[in-house]
């Protein structure tokens, strides 16, 4: 067990048989931090902006999260609550400091300007025009701090005819083409089950921030705006969707768990559930057919390349499922994994929590929250050999760091008390 400030991080490398049989060791080294010295002001709420801040914070950036006094970020009360705070919050806001500041007031805007004037990065995911209405738009802030990197995440981006429309990740997934594909043929499109559009936008945003910081370092210190639209972040992962339409007028349709044009790759029923099998590589296909007792298909000349297999995808799926239905998921994996065929169980949270691979790579970490209870959370991705990311502090209470941040800005105790009296901070 390792204690860092008020934070306790415990790594559990193997699945516990009972709570008393846990083996506890330290997590990855907490230093050095690749982004140490980078100060980030996070103004975003809920998912996309805060997820970007989380990623930067895990690699050492100082994240000052501005929250409205009172309820704070709505994510504090989303989904399952323990000790008055969302468990989601414990993941999203780790490694951050909370400044309870009312940006709707002139006093709050003045404090924000002073903070941003000394910052490296500003993250915001308000509707376009909101910051400009507070006197905190790009022109004003870049004049104040020419090296500022500003990440702006919104539904449709800062320009274009849809700029002023409200946009959530769920709508972005539909507009970016993803929802049209996430269904069984002829059935209602389903959501992925997590806020994928927001997370993709955050990932693209972090890429932009790191590119912009590098550019500023090697090109005279000038900052810039990173403009990320939720729908564009989704569209960017849609592979050949657009060129196929452009070249052939082909509109890719929903295909359930199959991968159209690439075979065999699907979810197959077993005696006790489903297994995912990806046998679409040429040599992998032959090994798969041998493993399921179909050497005739393994040797068929017309099935040696993907184009031939794709033309007979239904037949191949039928042959595979005829074999899997007679076996449990575990029995299928016991045959296919030694044969070098990519295959896996469809994991639940329990499966993830107990999996030795996730444990070995420190993807399940135990942390002590500000409320004093311990909870397991996902680890840090990606894994860096020299400057690994880490959980350095638990998610903060609302306004926990207000006085400390304002004091760092040079405000006296009396000035802080006056701002609190006016309702600017809490």
pLDDT (tens, 9 = 90+) of the chain, 426 residues, equals: 333 333 434 333 333 333 322 232 334 445 679 999 999 999 989 999 999 999 999 999 999 999 999 999 999 999 999 999 999 999 999 999 999 999 999 999 999 999 999 999 999 999 999 999 999 999 999 999 999 999 999 999 999 999 999 999 999 999 999 999 998 898 999 888 899 999 999 999 999 999 999 999 888 889 999 999 999 999 999 999 999 999 999 999 999 898 889 999 999 999 999 999 999 999 999 999 999 999 999 999 999 999 999 999 999 999 999 999 999 999 999 999 999 999 999 999 999 999 999 999 999 999 999 999 999 999 999 999 999 999 999 999 999 999 999 999 999 999 999 999 999 999
d(CA 386, CA 144) in angstroms, rounded, equals 35
pLDDT at residue 311 in the model? 97
Instruction: Put residue 38 in one of left, alpha, beta given phi > 0 → left and psi -120 to 50 → alpha.
Output: beta
d(CA 115, CA 280) in angstroms, rounded, equals 53
Query: What letters, b where the CB count within 10 A reaches 16 and e where it falls short, cover 291-323?
Result: bbebeebbeeeebeebeebbebbeebbebbbeb
d(CA 219, CA 196) in angstroms, rounded, equals 34
Query: What letters, b where the CB count within 10 A reaches 16 and e where it falls short, cover 343-376?
Result: bebeeeeeeeeebeebbeebbbbbbbbbeeeeee
Active site residue 62: no
pLDDT at residue 31 in the model? 64
Q: Is the dihedral of CA 375, 376, 377, 381 positive or negative?
A: positive
Cα distance between the two ends of the chain: 34
**264: DSSP letter:** S
Structural tokens at position 76: 């504090």
DSSP 384-421: -SSS-----SPPPPTTTTHHHHHHHTT--HHHHHHHHH
Domain parsing of the chain, residue ranges: 31-237+396-421, 265-347
User: Which candidate in 198, 227, 317, 401 is catalytic?
Assistant: 198
Task: Give residues with Cβ within 8 angstroms of 179, minimum separation 6.
Answer: 173, 189, 191
CATH 3.40.50.10540, applies to 31-237+396-421:
yes
Structural tokens at position 230: 């939720």
Rounded CA Rg of the chain: 25
Structural tokens at position 399: 């306004």
d(CA 335, CA 269) in angstroms, rounded, equals 16
pTM exceeds cut of 0.85: yes
pLDDT at residue 85 in the model? 95
**Fold that domain 265-347 belongs to in CATH:** formyl-coa transferase, domain 3 (3.30.1540)
pLDDT at residue 197 in the model? 96
Question: Beta strands 85-86 and 121-124: pairing type?
Answer: unpaired
Structural tokens at position 124: 């915001």
Query: Token match 């979810």: residue?
Result: 267
Query: Token match 């903070």: residue?
Result: 115
d(CA 58, CA 102) in angstroms, rounded, equals 26
Number of Cβ within a 10 Å radius of residue 242: 12
Same fold, 31-237+396-421 and 265-347: no
Helices 196-218 and 48-58 cross at an angle (nearest 10°) of 50
Query: Token match 């699907």: residue?
Result: 266
pLDDT at residue 219 in the model? 82
Cα 117 off chain centre by? 28
Q: Which helix (H) or strand (E) holds 130?
A: helix 130-133
Cα 392 off chain centre by? 18
pLDDT at residue 423 in the model? 96
């Amino acid at each position: 067990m390792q204690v860092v400030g008020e934070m306790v991080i415990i790594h559990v490398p193997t699945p516990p048989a009972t709570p008393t049989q846990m083996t506890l060791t330290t997590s990855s080294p907490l230093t050095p931090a690749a982004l140490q010295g980078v100060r980030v002001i996070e103004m975003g709420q809920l998912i996309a902006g805060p997820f970007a801040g989380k990623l930067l914070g895990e690699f050492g950036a100082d994240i000052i999260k501005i929250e409205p006094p009172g309820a704070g970020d709505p994510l504090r009360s989303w989904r399952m609550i323990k000790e008055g705070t969302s468990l989601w919050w414990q993941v999203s806001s780790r490694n951050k400091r909370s400044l309870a500041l009312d940006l709707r007031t002139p006093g709050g805007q003045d404090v924000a300007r002073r903070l941003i004037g000394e910052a490296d990065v500003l993250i915001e995911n308000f509707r376009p025009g909101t910051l400009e209405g507070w006197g905190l738009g790009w022109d004003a802030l870049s004049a104040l701090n020419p090296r500022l990197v500003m990440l702006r995440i919104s539904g449709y981006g800062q320009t274009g005819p849809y700029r002023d429309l409200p946009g959530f990740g769920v709508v972005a997934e539909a507009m970016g083409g993803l929802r049209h594909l996430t269904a069984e043929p002829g059935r209602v499109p389903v959501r992925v089950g997590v806020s994928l559009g927001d997370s993709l936008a955050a990932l693209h945003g972090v890429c932009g921030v790191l590119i912009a910081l590098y550019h500023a370092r090697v090109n005279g210190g000038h900052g810039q705006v990173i403009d990320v639209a939720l729908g564009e972040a989704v569209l960017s992962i849609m592979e050949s969707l657009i060129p196929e339409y452009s070249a052939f007028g082909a509109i890719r349709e929903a295909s359930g768990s199959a991968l159209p044009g690439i075979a065999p790759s699907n979810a197959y029923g077993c005696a006790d559930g489903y297994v995912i099998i990806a046998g679409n590589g040429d040599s992998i296909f032959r090994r798969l057919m041998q493993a399921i007792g179909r050497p005739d298909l393994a040797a068929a000349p017309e099935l040696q390349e993907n184009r031939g297999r794709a033309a007979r995808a239904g037949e191949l799926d039928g042959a595979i499922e005829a074999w899997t239905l007679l076996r449990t998921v575990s029995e299928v994996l016991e045959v296919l994994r030694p044969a070098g065929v990519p295959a896996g169980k469809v994991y639940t949270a329990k499966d993830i929590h107990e999996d030795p691979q996730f444990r070995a790579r420190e993807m399940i970490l135990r942390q002590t929250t500000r409320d004093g209870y311990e909870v397991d959370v996902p680890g840090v991705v990606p894994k860096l050999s020299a400057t690994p990311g880490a959980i350095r502090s638990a998610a903060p209470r609302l306004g926990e760091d207000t006085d400390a941040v304002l004091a760092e800005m040079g405000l006296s105790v009396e000035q802080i008390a006056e701002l609190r009296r006016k309702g600017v901070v809490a």
